[in-house]
Amino acid sequence: MPDLYAVIGNPIHHSKSPIIHMEFARQTHQDIQYNAILAPLEGFAATVSAFQQKGGKGLNVTLPFKQEAYTLSIRLTDRANAAQAVNTLKFDQNHPILGDNTDGAGLIRDIEVNQEIPIAGKSILLMGAGGAARGVILPLLERKPRLLAIANRTQTKAQLLQAQFSSHGQIVSGHFQDFSGESFDIIINATSASLQDKLPPLPTGLFKETTLAYDMMYSRNLTPFLIFAQQQGAHHLADGIGMLVEQAAESFYVWRGIRPETRKIIEMLKNNR
């Protein structure tokens, strides 16, 4: 019998995780079965328990359940604790539920390996102060950027994140317009604006020709954020496909102790949007 894994969320029909993880399994010769599970909005814990009782070994957790997964976890990795959100659950008969967050590791690997841009010494603007942003702040600061700026519509949310992570590196916060006139080496869109096909309220002048414009979201065409970045002169554009695959690879490593190769899968997904 193959070991059981799945991604759980609501909605879930759009998820590429089953394709990614079954390709990882084929590549690494691991005997697993990976499915997608639609959990009722009020029934996350019960759905997880039912999956465990069937012998499930691990779950990827997507919207809107990452905070509930954090609460459900008995043990937490440092990165999950910092993010206060969990996207990977590991079940082991001999240990309590382990909660991890692989989003930050996926982002870092996509930027530094796939985009070939070292983060150390760079100035970074992180747009958004929700769960997506929270999950990547500590991993970004661990790479020793010169500056990490957090911009958000609600400035107090950005200030709370600044206070939480200020001991880990040089970090500032403010409203989007507070950074008018400044330019950055890397600008990351961690807001949900691209999901609504909208552009965050960005001032002009943030982008240099050499700036990496990175949108955590992905779509068939360029997102409004990436179109804006291109119009502002940025030549290096990237969406979240690479991060999606890399965070999945990190989850696979947490579960199986094997790190799969990712580049071919990223290219496959890009070519089959």
Q: Determine whether the annotation assigns residue 127 to a binding site.
A: no
Sign of the C-alpha dihedral, residues 94, 95, 100, 105?
Answer: negative
Residue in the structure block whose two tokens are 């690494």:
28
d(CA 59, CA 158): 30
What residues have CB less than 8 Å from 106, skipping those under 6 apart? 243, 244, 245, 246, 247, 248, 249, 250
| Residue 87 assigned ligand-binding role | yes
What letter would DSSP give residue 190? Answer: -
Pairing mode, strands 147-151 and 236-238? unpaired
Is position 88 annotated in a ligand binding site?
no
For residue 6, say whether it is annotated as part of any ligand binding site. no
Is 66 one of the catalytic residues?
A: yes
Beta-bridged to residue 236, according to DSSP, are 212
Q: Identify the active-site residue in 57, 66, 90, 122.
A: 66
Residue 204 makes CB contacts below 8 A (sequence gap 6+) with: 180, 232
Residue 157 assigned to a binding site: yes
Is 194 annotated to bind a ligand? Reply is no
What gap in Å lies between CA 158 and CA 142, rounded to an integer? Answer: 19
Euclidean distance between CA atoms 185 and 187, whole angstroms:
7
247 is in an annotated binding site: yes
130 has binding-site annotation: yes
Consult the annotation and say whether 216 binds a ligand: yes
Report whether 141 contacts 162 (CB < 8 A): no
Distance CA 217, CA 170 (A): 26
Quote the CA–CA distance of 188 and 227 in Å, as a whole number: 14
- 272 annotated as a binding-site residue: no
In 3D, which of 189, 172, 86 has the Cα closest to residue 133?
A: 189
- The reply to whether 55 sits in an annotated binding site is no
CA torsion through residues 216, 106, 12, 77, sign: negative
Is 103 annotated as ligand-binding?
yes
Cα–Cα distance measured from residue 93 to residue 89, given in angstroms and rounded to the nearest whole number: 13
Is 238 annotated as a binding-site member?
no
Is residue 17 marked as binding?
A: yes
Is 131 flagged in the annotation as binding? yes
Was 94 annotated as part of a binding site? no
> Residues comprising the binding site?
15-17, 62, 78, 87, 103, 128-132, 152-157, 216, 218, 240, 247
Which residues carry out catalysis? 66
> Residues comprising the binding site for NADP(+)?
78, 128-132, 152-157, 216, 240
> Residues comprising the binding site for shikimate?
15-17, 62, 87, 103, 218, 247
